[in-house]
Structure 1
Amino acid sequence: MKKTILLLAFFSFISAPLSAKVIWFADPDQSTKVTNFFKRLDDGNYPQDYCKVKGDHEDVEASTVEVLSDEELGKVWKINKPNNRKRGEFARVEGQLDSFSPKEGDDIYLAWQWKIDTVDKAKIDKEVTVFQWKSASPHNQNYPLNLEYDGELTLNAWGPNYVENKGYHNRRTVLWRKAVPQNEWVSIVIRIKVNKEDFGGLVQFWFNGEQQILENLESKEYQVKVSDDKKTVFHRTNDGRFVYPKWGVYNKRSCQYDVNAYFHNMKLGTSLATVMPKL
């Protein structure tokens, strides 16, 4: 009996690391080609990506991406979204070297180190979107989750609208908020259990290595369900034809900024330990 218990403990020990792994890693030391790790760069050239009136995006420099050397972290990705451009985003973790397509039932951890600044040192005081957990249309949630920045970083959940399939701005609830200076590296980890049922999905959040308290801080027509310890929220995290992550700078409020977003150690894994950045 004792031998059986020891054998079970041994196999449990050796199998645990095998089940927890990094599924996707956008490593600029391996390649600086965007499509090796992402489906594409959305550079703001879509017809609907005008800032004020249709057509005003024409003759405006498109958003760009490059890899540069950071004094603290080494090689990092840099997206620049110019003034009068609405969007500059990495879209979907479906590259030629590393690829992953989230599906119903997946339990994943998205991690990255991030900072933001403006080329002319202007203060960002209007909320710009810097991360989206996006759903492919037709959908009832344009983005079930996102992060927005206006000097403060907010994690937001967006509830579904099954009736009108619009009015998303009223379905936002702010889960977390923190002041973050421009040009300061921070680390972010989001756990997402992908589920189409109302409140069937799960969300947890780590900032600079510490798990954060999540609450319905600001809401109108929708609120998530929150665990007793306030470290887990239950929310619909799968919508449309499929869901996928986007990183960068986006929305009409971003049009007024010539802004850079920097990314390092971008990973997707099956456990917190496999993706948590070393601070």
Structure 2
Amino acid sequence: MKNFIMLITLYSSISCPVSAEVIWFADADKSTQVDSFFKRLDDGNYPQDYCKFQGDEKNVKASSYNVLTDEKLGKIWMINKPKNRKRAELARTEGKLNSFSPNEGDDLYIAWQWKIDTADNLPIDKEVTVFQWKSASPHFQNYPLNFEYDGDLTLNAWGANYDENKNYKSRRTVLWRKPVAQNEWISIILRIKVDKGNHGGFVQFWFNGEQQELTNLESKLYQVKVSDDKKTIFHRTNDGRFVYPKWGAYNKKSCKYDINAYFHDIKIGTSLSSVIPDNFR
């Protein structure tokens, strides 16, 4: 595996951060309360957030979180999204002990270690959203970026639609796809330059320590712009009143699964070196 700390050649138009520091983290060794680091555990926005019909959440087990001890990683976060519930997400990096809100112009490195499985060992074969770079309504992009999982993990960009947000699903382009087994720990780092201009922001991605090539693998009504070396895509990464991250399991396709998602070493920094997981150094 290549060293995370290798020098990365970027286009001259992409500036490097002046300082290199962690500006937000969710460390279960410091607190096991979700609201210490996140705004909330988002278990649904009812009555809109239902699986089959309005009100069905009343007879469904609630989404929940816990802190477990992994034999190699130590304390980890776990969320559970039961069957017939649409959502369980660690939402917004605005906690009581540690708080950060992304702003226009920010150049952020967002890192976490992650795995997913089901309580009944059912294979996940429908695309479940497992991360959202979410915009607060009113918006033209419900989420400018997300990860989805169906046995493959995909990183997706979603183009802005200025016509009342119609045909939104057709404005998805898949930037990257890779098979990932259930119950397998992986490391993710996203670099996001936050910008509301069309193709004004940019995104880079590291998977298990390797910077990945990105491109328009699947697209209909929208495509990102791709650098010559395919290491950077240019995209509108800010939308609505503000943007924020959400980690977990979400969408109508998730309703059929009893999902567990696990997270370790979640943090945001101003440089690649500041967010490298300790077990990859």
1:240 and 2:240 correspond: yes
Q: Is the 8 A contact 1:79 1:262 kept in 2?
A: yes
Cα distance change, pair 274–68 in 1 and its aligned pair in 2 (3 A): same
> Measured at CA, do residues 18 and 74 of structure 1 come closer, stay the same or move farther in structure 2, by a change above 3 Å?
farther
Q: Which residue of 2 aligns with 1:252?
A: 252
Query: C-alpha distance in 2, partners of 1:18/1:240?
Result: 28
- How far the C-alpha of 1:62 sits from its partner, in A, is 1.0
Matched residue, 2:268:
268
Instruction: Work out the CA distance in 2 between the residues paired with 1:222 and 1:45.
Output: 29
| More helix, by proportion | 1
Taking the TM superposition and a 5 Å limit, the aligned residue runs for 1:202-241 are 202-241=202-241
Equivalent residue runs for 1:107-186 within 5 Å: 107-186=107-186
Structure 1, unaligned runs of 5 or more? 1-15
Displacement of 1:17 in angstroms is 10
Report the TM-score when normalising by structure 1: 0.93
- Shift of the 38–191 alpha-carbon distance from structure 1 to 2, 3 Å rule, reads same
Task: Give the direction of change, closer, same or farther, for the CA distance of 1:52–1:201 in structure 2 (3 Å limit).
Answer: same
Say whether the 8 Å CA contact 1:189–1:205 is kept in structure 2: yes
Q: How far off its partner does 1:45 sit?
A: 5.3
- Contact persistence 1:41–1:90 (CA under 8 A): yes
Q: Please tell me whether the aligned partners of residues 45 and 62 of structure 1 are also in contact (alpha carbons under 8 angstroms).
A: no
Amino acid at match of 2:221: E
Alignment length (residue pairs): 264
Q: Segments of 4+ in structure 1 off by > 4 A?
A: none
Q: Is the 8 A contact 1:45 1:57 kept in 2?
A: no
- Report if the CA contact (8 A) 2:17-2:271 is conserved: no
Taking the aligned partners of 2:226 and 2:144, their CA distance within structure 1 comes to 16
CA offsets 1:54-108 (integer angstroms, 9 cap, x no match): 1112221110000000112110000000000000001100011111110100000
Give the AA of the match of 1:227: S
Tell me, in whole angstroms, the C-alpha distance in 1 between the residues paired with 2:276 and 2:170: 33
In our comparison, the structure showing a higher alpha carbon Rg is 1
Aligned residues of 1:155 and 1:177 also touching (Cα < 8 A): yes
- Which piece of structure 1 moves more, 36-45 or 133-142? 36-45
One-letter code of the match for 2:149?
Answer: Y
Contact 1:81 1:258 in 2 (8 A): yes
User: What do you get for the CA RMSD once the two structures are aligned?
Assistant: 1.3
Q: Which amino acid aligns with 1:64?
A: S
Residue pair 1:136, 1:239 contacting (<8 A) in 2 also? yes
Identical aligned residues as a percent: 74
Q: Partner residue of 2:9? A: none
- Supply the distance in 1 between the matched residues of 2:270 and 2:109 (Cα, whole angstroms): 6
- Secondary structure of the corresponding residue to residue 58 of structure 1: helix
Which residue number in structure 2 is paired with residue 91 of structure 1? 91
Normalising by structure 2, we get a TM-score of 0.92
User: Given the superposition, is the C-alpha separation of residues 103 and 45 from structure 1 closer, same or farther in structure 2, using an over 3 Å criterion?
Assistant: closer
The runs of 5 or more residues in structure 2 that have no matched partner are 1-15
| Paired residues of 1:75 and 1:264 also in contact (CA < 8 A) | yes
